[in-house]
């Protein structure tokens, strides 16, 4: 990486934000606050994820740029209020990553990724101080995370306190138990209980994914993409036969779907 080019690019981006917020800048940008732009930060994050899943290098690069702009913009809003600036953001994350990787930047020895994870959790706990109450153990998991991702992090966090299933089969037993309870609630046609048991089953499935080393959020995103691809292929197949999707019967759509699914369409 060209260090001079990197320095120039970052400086130009920061100055761009400063110009947008300045007296002769953009009225829309000048009117924004950290609260008003936070949803754009979230939207750009999801667009980066989508680009990684579906796009090529140029799209990923572009979306990462959009996300970086939001980070620099929010940091500049804080600088205007005398709270911190973008330099401090970069310095702090650099210091944190060095501190949390003593096996790279220090003398700590690790044998595998699992030991790295344990060390990370220990260092993070030390950073936050040891005066936390037991009741606050899960409060470090953001309530603003997508629900599946938050469930993963809650299970992960509880595991660090020793509250977890001992193995994958134990989690699978919990999944079966929750499914049986859901079936019972459905059989009794108890709407409120079905809602509760569905939530419990989902939470158990998230933890089953976690025990296999997967993120349920990622799995669901992949499944959503697969559904969209198959649905669009089904739509195209039916259209080529001269029928619009809305003109087809469920049986016709099922036949086309199964052809796509089995690779015969």
DSSP state at residue 143: T
pLDDT surpasses 80 at 264: no
Q: Which CATH number fits domain 3-99: 1.10.287.1080, 1.10.10.10, 2.120.10.30, 1.25.60.10?
A: 1.10.287.1080
pLDDT surpasses 70 at 43: yes
> How do residues 126-154 score in pLDDT, each as one tens digit?
887 654 555 567 887 888 888 999 999 99
Provide the total of helices (H) and of strands (E) in the chain, helices listed first: 12, 0
Q: For the domain made up of 132-214, give the CATH fold.
A: Helix Hairpins (1.10.287)
With CA atoms as reference, report the closest residue to 76 among 28, 46, 32. 32
| Range 241-244, long-range pairs (CB < 8 A, 24+ positions) | none
Q: At what angle do helices 168-187 and 191-211 cross, to 10 degrees?
A: 170
What does pTM read for this prediction? 0.66
pLDDT surpasses 80 at 265: no
**Average pLDDT over the chain, rounded to an integer:** 91
3-99 and 132-214: identical CATH topology: yes
pLDDT of amino acid 114 = 85
Q: What are phi and psi of 50, to 5 degrees?
A: -65, -40
* Residue spans per domain, the chain: 3-99, 132-214, 219-262
């Amino acid at each position: 990486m060209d260090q001079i080019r990197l320095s120039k690019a970052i400086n130009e981006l920061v100055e761009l934000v400063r110009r947008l917020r300045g007296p002769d800048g953009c009225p829309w940008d000048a009117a924004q606050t950290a609260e008003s732009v936070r949803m754009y930060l979230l939207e750009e994050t999801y667009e980066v994820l989508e680009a990684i899943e579906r796009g090529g290098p140029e799209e990923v690069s572009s979306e990462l740029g959009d996300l970086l702009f939001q980070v620099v913009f929010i940091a500049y809003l804080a600088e205007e209020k005398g709270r911190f600036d973008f330099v401090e953001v970069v310095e702090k994350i650099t210091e944190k990553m060095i501190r949390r990787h003593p096996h790279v930047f220090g003398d700590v020895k690790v044998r595998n990724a699992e030991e790295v994870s344990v060390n990370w959790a220990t260092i993070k706990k030390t950073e936050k101080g040891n005066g936390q109450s037991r009741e606050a153990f899960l409060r470090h998991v953001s309530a603003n995370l997508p629900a599946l991702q938050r469930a993963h992090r809650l299970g992960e966090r509880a595991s660090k306190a020793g509250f977890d299933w001992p193995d994958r089969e134990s989690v699978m037993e919990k999944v079966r138990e929750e499914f049986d309870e859901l079936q019972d609630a459905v059989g009794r046609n108890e709407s409120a209980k079905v809602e509760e048991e569905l939530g419990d089953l989902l939470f158990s499935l998230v933890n089953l994914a976690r025990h296999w080393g997967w993120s349920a959020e990622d799995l669901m995103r992949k499944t959503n993409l697969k559904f969209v691809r198959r649905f669009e292929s089904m739509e195209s197949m039916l259209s080529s036969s001269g029928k619009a999707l809305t003109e087809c019967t469920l049986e016709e759509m099922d036949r086309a779907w199964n052809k796509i699914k089995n690779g015969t369409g």
